[in-house]
Structure 1
Amino acid sequence: MAHRSRLFTIPALAAALLATAASAQDDEARRGFVEANLLGIFYHELGHALIDLEEVPIFGQEEDAADVFSILLVDSLFDEETAQAIAIDAAYGFLGEVYLMEDEGEAVAWWDVHGPDEQRFYNTVCLFYGANPDEREAFAEALGLPEERAGYCPDEFDQAFDAWGDVLDGLTERFEAGQGEPIVLMPGAFEDAPLTARLLEVEVAALNGELRLSLPLSVWVESCGEPNAYYDPETAGITMCTEFEAHLHSLYDLVTE
């Protein structure tokens, strides 16, 4: 899949964590954090959709496979500077969930199908670093990736790419052959989540310019009563809940305080 630059700004959160920025800079960093996490969440749900629609075999937890797919897309689709910015913000999004649970006195839900958020943070950093260790050494150091894990990360990325690479190639080849189905962004509650809506408009159009699926996939922006996102195999649709935007703003406050 071709690398492309972002059509909107996703600045690195790291700068906002190191110094007190002016109001405009903070607004830009906040927006970048929200965009990057919305993008990572959308890619995660797209992973679930492909597992279903393309009948991708999964050995292990499907949630882990969807996390891996999200990281692979960030690495595959964006230029190096943009990809690192997205990866930093998305990784800190998982830490924000950890801080939120601590503030609310909640225990880790070990029974949940999702892995613990702190582990998802390190998995994100490791896989992204492993994709290009020569260019991302500073990235790994800045995000505290232990040397004990870093040494395995290139092999972990290679294993992940071997699992998903043929799937991505097949989607691209189908597009180039003029076959298959596009992703369709459905009318929804765009006014309730304007940043989500704008991001999805850009992202769905960009993906449709590079790939096609074997079956139709719909994307909805709707109120769910909670900050959430999910793929429904019965409707072959991804729902991005409008409540997620406000939730991500709250996470940004936690990781920058």
Structure 2
Amino acid sequence: MRNTLLSLLLTCAALASPLQAQTREDAFVEANVLAILYHEMGHALIDILQLPVFGQEEDAADVLSVLLIHDLYDEEAAAGIIYDAAFGFLGEAEENAPVYWGVHGPDLQRYYTMICLFYGANPEAREDLAVELELPEERAETCPEEFQLAYDSWGPVLDEITAEQPGSSMTLAGAGDDVIGVLMADEVAALNEDFVLPVPLTFRVEACGEANGFYDLDTREIIICSELDAYLRSLADF
């Protein structure tokens, strides 16, 4: 399981000292960067493995992000990541008007889908989280089936690249010693423990001129923009 700050939950923030509050802010940044990283991993796998996509590729990448969080972390840490990443979508929804012509779904829709898939993977353990994050009962009823469909689609893909022994198909470039850089170094090392890809994949941290993350088809790189740190901190509200 990943070793991060993410076992802390937002519900503890009201009791935090100033030092603890900074740790919570770091955890919020980590959670949202991880959700973005796993989303971009979806694009990378679709490209590298030449996977068919029936529907929007952005939706497929969102689904993989939730599945990896569910699979790779223990219950407390996974719930912390989903909690913070969901609030990241809410923050973006408050900051930006919906862009209905874009390739991504509206932020509020992505918020509810993230919660639904995570809840659907383990409804008994995650009922309180679904209630706290206000997942409507009408949607909650279909979430176990939605999760199973997602797992049936992505599960064989992940099985195909699951490592029998640690590999080195993924490398990191450009990471510093800040929160995002340290997180990326830990994550790339952990991903190499979990998965082996048929071709090299580079993860890069760099200034992009915008707070974003993306997969570059030409260079086969996942780019995490350093501007995400300040932007995500501006969305944090605790």
Q: Same fold (TM over 0.5)?
A: yes
Give the match's secondary structure for 1:38: helix
Alignment of 1:214-229 (within 5 A): 214-229=198-213
1:246 aligns with 2:223: no
1:20 offset after TM fit, Å?
5.7
Q: Which residue of 2 aligns with 1:46?
A: 41
* TM-score normalised according to structure 1 size: 0.89
- Aligned AA (1:229): G
Contact kept in structure 2, 1:13 and 1:32, CA below 8 Å: no
Match of residue 117, structure 2, among 127, 142, 151: 127
Structure 2: gaps spanning 5 or more residues: none
Match of residue 100, structure 1, among 75, 95, 104: 95
Q: Which residue of 1 aligns with 2:152?
A: 162
In 2, Cα distance between the equivalents of 1:136 and 1:170? 29
* 1:181-213 superposed Cα distances (whole Å, 9 cap, x missing partner): 611112x1526xx11110010000001011101
Match of residue 111, structure 1, among 85, 96, 101: 101
Contact kept in structure 2, 1:9 and 1:32, CA below 8 Å: yes
* 1:32-77 superposed Cα distances (whole Å, 9 cap, x missing partner): 1110001111011011000000111110000000000000000000
* 1:159-190 superposed Cα distances (whole Å, 9 cap, x missing partner): 00001000000111xx2178x8611112x152
Contact kept in structure 2, 1:227 and 1:244, CA below 8 Å: yes
Q: Which residue of 2 aligns with 1:198?
A: 182
Give the match's secondary structure for 1:227: coil
1:237 aligns with 2:221: yes
Contact kept in structure 2, 1:181 and 1:215, CA below 8 Å: no
In 2, Cα distance between the equivalents of 1:184 and 1:44? 18
In 1, Cα distance between the equivalents of 2:157 and 2:168? 15
Match of residue 139, structure 2, among 149, 152, 158: 149
* 1:101-158 superposed Cα distances (whole Å, 9 cap, x missing partner): 2xxxxx3111000000011110010000000001111110110011000000000000
Contact kept in structure 2, 1:230 and 1:238, CA below 8 Å: yes
In 2, Cα distance between the equivalents of 1:78 and 1:37? 15
- Aligned AA (2:148): D
Once superposed, what is the RMSD of the aligned Cα atoms? Answer: 1.5
In 2, Cα distance between the equivalents of 1:181 and 1:49? 16
Q: Which residue of 2 aligns with 1:208?
A: 192
- Aligned AA (1:151): E
Q: Which residue of 1 aligns with 2:9?
A: 12
Alignment of 1:166-177 (within 5 A): 166-172=156-162, 175-176=163-164
- Aligned AA (2:199): L
In 1, Cα distance between the equivalents of 2:106 and 2:116? 15
In 2, Cα distance between the equivalents of 1:72 and 1:56? 17
Structure 1: gaps spanning 5 or more residues: 102-106
- Aligned AA (1:13): L
In 2, Cα distance between the equivalents of 1:100 and 1:200? 26
CA, structure 1 residues 14+124, in 2 after alignment: closer, same or farther (shift >3 Å)? farther
Contact kept in structure 2, 1:43 and 1:69, CA below 8 Å: yes
Instruction: Give the fraction of aligned pairs with identical amino acids, expressed as a percent.
Output: 51
Matched residue count:
237
Contact kept in structure 2, 1:181 and 1:214, CA below 8 Å: no
Contact kept in structure 1, 2:165 and 2:193, CA below 8 Å: no
1:15 offset after TM fit, Å?
2.9
